[in-house]
Amino acid sequence: MSKKAPAGERVVKEEIENDPILGYAALPGIADEMMDANGQIRPVWRNLIAHLSRLSEAELQERFARADRYLRDAGVFYRTYQSQGSGGSGERAWPISHVPVLIDAREWETVSRGLMQRADLLEAMVADIYGDNRLVEEGILPPQLVAANPEFLRPLAGIKPVGGHYLHFCSFEIGRGPDGNWWVLSDRTQAPSGAGFALENRVATTRAFSDIYAESHVHRLASFFVAFRDALQAQKQSPDDRIAVLSPGPANETYFEHAYIARYLGFMLLEGEDLTVVNNRVMVRTVAGLKPIGVLWRRLDAAYADPLELDQNSRIGTPGMVQALRSGALTVVNALGSGILETRAFLAFAPTIARRLLGEDLMMPSIATWWCGQKEEREHVAKNIERMVIGPAYTGLPFFDDNGQSVLGSSLRETAKETIGEWLADEGAKLVGQEVVTLSTTPAWVDGKLVPRPMSLRVYAARTEKGWQIMPGGFARIGSGDDVSAIAMQTGGTAADVWIVSDKPVARPTLLTPEENFTRNMPGSLPSRAADNLYWLGRYIERAEGSLRILRAWHLRYAESADPNAPLLADMTRYLKTIDIDMAKAVPLTLLRNIDSAIYSASNIRDRFSPDGWLALNDLSKTARRFHDAVKAGDDAAHAMTVLLRKLAGFAGLVHENMYRFTGWRFLSIGRHLERSMHMTRLLGHMCGPDAPDGALDMMLEIGDSVMTHRRRYNVNTARLTVADLLALDHLNPRSILFQLNEIRAEVELLPNAFVNGQMSPFYREAMRLHSGLAVMTPDGMNEEVYARLESELEKLSDLLGQTYIG
Amino acid sequence: MLYDLTLHMGYVYDVPASGARHLIRVLPLSLPDRQRLIAGAITVSPNADEKVSFIDFFGQQATSVFVKAPHERLDIRMQARVVVEAPTIKADLSPELAGLKAELAGLLSVDPASPHHLAGTSPRLPEEPLIAAWAREVVKPGQTAHEIARAICTRIHKDFKYDPEATTVDTTPREAFKLKRGVCQDFSHIMIVALRSLGIPAGYVSGFLRTIPPPGKERLEGADAMHAWVRVWCGDAMGHVELDPTNDIPAGTDHIVVAYGRDYSDIAPVVGVMKGYGNQKALQAVDVIPLKQ
């Protein structure tokens, strides 16, 4: 530190020392991201720290709350497998650590160069492993590490990727050692996750620090995604090809991210069953027929991709996918089989392989690793056991994240240490030793003050048309305690945004292309499974509403008479039984199940669904569950139903006001209208019969929300004919059957393949026929028999929709 | 020995299946100095909408067929004519276990014929301490790898009962080992696990057995369906040796090789995925008719 330090710098330091909230001291002998070895704040941090020190605890908490609120409102979550069994949704909020990690752009240059070289190395390795196997033949890579490797997928051997590259998207976990240099802790090549979380982390953090972010020269993340999106576009063989993100489905821990990335980049989000292979081409089933897939960004492990040639137990794969790859019309990101590069034992050979395949030394070393299948290496590990982590050789998981499969040599009992040599000699081929590394620390906000916490970085590399590009940022995993040994990063950590700070203003790209050459892209073809889920979402939502309306009418009457055996109530109880609703509970279980089914359908199409709608639906479910436990029959229940109806209307309104009117909307809408028409038809058939109890017609009007209209339109008392006129045949009444059929007909006309060779499709014809048939009816013709026939015809219409579009 | 082979595999579905894709590996291999496929064909009924053949990693011809329309049954038929040479008797040139280990370590290859593929675990055959302990008891000090393989083969034949009712195609080696019963697949799997646990690379062979025994000889077990036996690597000098634990004999002119793999999952005769529900019934008929000696 020069004696002529700028005045500002000294002020900042004093403030920090004087500020009890910001009393921060790096741990002895450990590198710290914010403080240099002399206890000075690094230049890139000064602006942020100066700001922080001016904020009161309350202001700071208010800012953090902003970030949390953003994540909650955006619905950012990841799924935890453990919590699934214990009830609850198994979704956990993203654990943000609010203080970002700041890194100087010049240092990041060096990190980026090191990781680009590493990505090249991995590409060359995987090409050799699935190609000529020179590394094995020349004695550089031991043969068993390939042949006994569960990630060596034999059906892929010899298949060259269509674009020439195996790897397109990788991530690296890197950490900084005590000497200040970076180390690679692990490589992710199978289906690297987290890039979407990095984006959301960035947005959330800038909510908390919008002012500071705006005036700091922080590199933006968007250009990285633009470049990768463009690169994937360029991989397509023909303009008609689709690009899709292939997800294992909503049960996957990072499903949110799959949906997020697909939506962000404008790709389809698909699951294995959306795909089929026809004449060696992978096709997506859409409501407009089969469409070719050109690029699949897979988020599922390769072994599950094809139950015919890979893991035969996979239920989430696409039979024939490997065959399609053999004939070369599809790019998979990353190529099936690339997961082998994650093998922990490979780290031991990376330096030699780099020299052999690239003719270079590694710019960024990986964590020192010894494969115990070799004698000298094994002996080295045994001799230095105190400084080693011992773990499985073939695992793809890094030692700090492998569910406790790795053990710290120093934690072994003395007796175990004595026999370590024998153990390694017996089992060595399956084990690696890795040097225990310590990580750097970075400030985290804990209990009202900044404290140093260990961190490692997750960094992403994407292959673009100009070669590898490194995401300027990523996210930092922050340890929960102050144990800086990397193995302590296993559980309970948080994630912080990473700011790459330049001393000059940075470019501010967005995902959008410049205004002058915009085109209006119509949404791509709707996958059949998504159509199915939208249709059933519509039906379940409407089913819930229909039940709620009947239940409210029932409880209002029960509140007056307190007699469940009064003829009208008893009759309705019987009716409700026929639709599976048991009146033993004021808020029946069937209702909760309908709402859950709606949520389940919605959860399968998160990429097409606004976060607001999702939150509204979950709120509805939570409220219904609470009522189910607490609410009593009568007034209390009637009120509860009103609350639920209002929440349901809120959801419907969000969807109605915000959803783009395209194919997806039509399926949702057809689902709602069809369910409502079925509900009305069934109910009218029951309540307008000659032996319906007294008050049934009034109740019918109430359920159909048409009491006032009826009073206004007919100068007679409620009668069978006027009710049929208003609730069945009035095309202006949004609750009438004819209204529903009118809407269905209009939507169906706009669906793909409504006309085949200029002729109406069977489905369109049937929708048309039902509509015209009802439109010419008169109220006196509407009897129980007509309602019963219509009900079964509506069921058939639903089946026909399934056959035509869902398959 | 010249054989005419016919194989019929039928699948009958309670509820019609559709969009069915099957991967079939049933044609005999051509192997230098061992057997030659003169002619062979696979037919499928109903007619396949797509039919593609390719050579898989271990060198076997695999045929992928796709039947789109709903069908109540699927029939796969294979006909082939094969010449099988009488095997040359190999002298036991195999080393002891330590020597075998060293020879294996020095073999720098992962090409499809490399024993490294047969040394580790494989999808159907994880490590099995029960079987490993049993294998250690069978081994006598000083035995060569080939002697050990023969000893284990004999022990399986002696201690285990051939019983098609006891196990299914999905039975694990551990289950069959505890039952002490099973069929060729179970015995082969147990033998492979045992040999691998001792450090001897071993793999799975699928194929056919001649159905009509030579005059005066007993019919071999397992001849009424596709058969399986074991391939053992006995070191650089001796190479691979094939042993049939179901009958406790080396594979000879009665054995016709269809495919080599690490275990059943690599070379299952038929793997299928289809849309449908309900149960299915499978039937299989094999005829291996010797035409002349």
Q: Where do the domains of chain B lie, and which CATH numbers do they carry?
A: 2-85+269-292 (2.60.40.2250), 97-266 (3.10.620.30)
Which of A137, A144, A154 shows the shortest C-beta gap to B120?
Answer: A144
Residues A177 and A269 in one domain: no
Does a structural domain hold residue A789? yes
Under 8 Å between Cβ of A251 and A79: yes
Q: What is the CATH number of the domain that holds A272?
A: 3.40.50.11290
Residues A185 and A83 in one domain: yes
Kindly list the residues from chain A whose CB atom is less than 8 angstroms away from the CB atom of residue B114. 143, 147
Residues A461 and A426 in one domain: no
Kindly list the residues from chain A whose CB atom is less than 8 angstroms away from the CB atom of residue B19. 276
Under 8 Å between Cβ of A486 and A175: yes
State residue A686 phi and psi, 5-degree precision.
-80, -40
Looking at chain B from residue 26 to 65, which residues have their Cβ under 8 Å from any Cβ of chain A? 50, 52, 54, 56-58, 64
E-strand stretches of A394-438: 407-408, 431-435
- Domain end: A299, A328, A357, which one? A328
The token duo for A664 is 């997806």
The nearest CA of chain A is from the CA of B57 a distance in Å of 6
Which residues, 6+ apart, have CB-to-CB distance to A685 below 8 Å? A784, A787, A788, A791
Residues A805 and A684 in one domain: yes
Other CB atoms within a 10 A radius of the CB of residue A240 amount to 9
State residue B274 phi and psi, 5-degree precision.
-145, 165
CB contact (8 A) between residue A326 and residue B21: no
Using the predicted structure, report yes or no on whether residue A308 has a pLDDT greater than 60. Answer: yes
Does a structural domain hold residue A615? yes
Sign (positive/negative) of CA torsion A298, A303, A307, A310? positive
Instruction: Give the closest residue to A392 by CA, choosing from A453, A434, A441, A329.
Output: A434
CB contact (8 A) between residue B109 and residue A278: no
pLDDT of residue A597: 92
CB contact (8 A) between residue A136 and residue B120: no
First to last CA, chain A: 72
- Residue-wise pLDDT for B203-244, tens only, equals 999 999 987 777 777 777 767 789 999 999 999 999 999 999
Which of B21, B114, B268 shows the shortest C-beta gap to A143?
Answer: B114
Residues A792 and A691 in one domain: yes
| Mutate which: B22, B50, B110, B260, vs A, most A CBs within 10 A | B110
The rounded distance, in Å, linking the Cα atoms of B76 and B282 is: 11
Tally of domains within chain A: 5
Instruction: Using DSSP bridges, classify how beta strands A475-478 and A449-464 pair: parallel, antiparallel or unpaired.
Output: antiparallel
Which of B64, B107, B123 shows the shortest C-beta gap to A143?
Answer: B107
- Residue listed under structure tokens 């793909």: A752
- Residue-wise pLDDT for B18-76, tens only, equals 889 999 999 999 999 899 999 999 999 999 999 999 999 999 999 999 999 999 999 99
Which of A150, A155, A280 shows the shortest C-beta gap to B56?
Answer: A155
pLDDT of residue A18: 44
- Domain end: A629, A659, A689, which one? A659
Q: What does DSSP assign to residue B48?
A: P
Using the predicted structure, report yes or no on whether residue B278 has a pLDDT greater than 50. Answer: yes
Q: Average of pLDDT values for A62-78?
A: 83
pLDDT of residue A521: 54
The rounded distance, in Å, linking the Cα atoms of A230 and A234 is: 6
B283 interface with A at CB cutoff 8 Å: no
Assign 3-state DSSP to chain A and report helix, strand, coil percentages, each to 5: 50, 15, 35
Closest alpha carbon within chain A to B53: A323
Highest mean pLDDT among A355-359, A663-667, B66-70: A355-359
- Domain end: A296, A328, A360, which one? A328
CB contact (8 A) between residue B273 and residue A307: yes
Does a structural domain hold residue A114? no
- Rounded to 10 degrees, what is the CA torsion of A609, A612, A614, A617? -130
pLDDT band at A524 (very low <50, low <70, confident <90, very high): low
CB contact (8 A) between residue B265 and residue A136: no
Does a structural domain hold residue A146? no
- The pTM score is 0.87
Using the predicted structure, report yes or no on whether residue A472 has a pLDDT greater than 50. Answer: yes
Q: What does DSSP assign to residue A438?
A: B
Kindly list the residues from chain B whose CB atom is less than 8 angstroms away from the CB atom of residue A307. 271, 273
Does a structural domain hold residue A157? no
Does a structural domain hold residue A335? no
CB contact (8 A) between residue B119 and residue A326: no
Q: What is the largest CA-CA distance in chain A?
A: 102
pLDDT of residue A22: 58
Which residues, 6+ apart, have CB-to-CB distance to B102 below 8 Å? none
The nearest CA of chain B is from the CA of A148 a distance in Å of 5
pLDDT of residue B217: 75
Residues A572 and A630 in one domain: yes
Using the predicted structure, report yes or no on whether residue A648 has a pLDDT greater than 80. Answer: yes
Under 8 Å between Cβ of A198 and A34: no
Does a structural domain hold residue A542? yes
pLDDT of residue A416: 76
pLDDT of residue B222: 66
Residues A494 and A559 in one domain: no
- Residue listed under structure tokens 């900042």: A12
Residues A701 and A610 in one domain: no
Using the predicted structure, report yes or no on whether residue A631 has a pLDDT greater than 50. Answer: yes
Which residue segment(s) compose the domain that A594 sits in? 526-659
The rounded distance, in Å, linking the Cα atoms of B24 and B42 is: 9
Under 8 Å between Cβ of B232 and B241: yes
A115-119, A136-140, A195-199, A658-662: range with lowest mean pLDDT: A658-662
Residues A545 and A649 in one domain: yes
In this structure, chain A runs to a length of 807
Residues A465 and A562 in one domain: no
The nearest CA of chain A is from the CA of B216 a distance in Å of 43
Residues A12 and A39 in one domain: yes
Closest alpha carbon within chain A to B67: A278
Average pLDDT value over all residues in chain A: 88
What DSSP string describes A539-605? HHHHHHHHHHHHHHHHHHHHHHH--TTSHHHHHHHHHHHHTT--TTSSS-HHHHHHHHHHHHHHHTT
HSE on the CB side for A70, CA within 13 Å? 21
The rounded distance, in Å, linking the Cα atoms of A602 and A600 is: 5
Residues A243 and A305 in one domain: yes
Does a structural domain hold residue A748? yes
A33-37, A442-446, B288-292: range with lowest mean pLDDT: B288-292
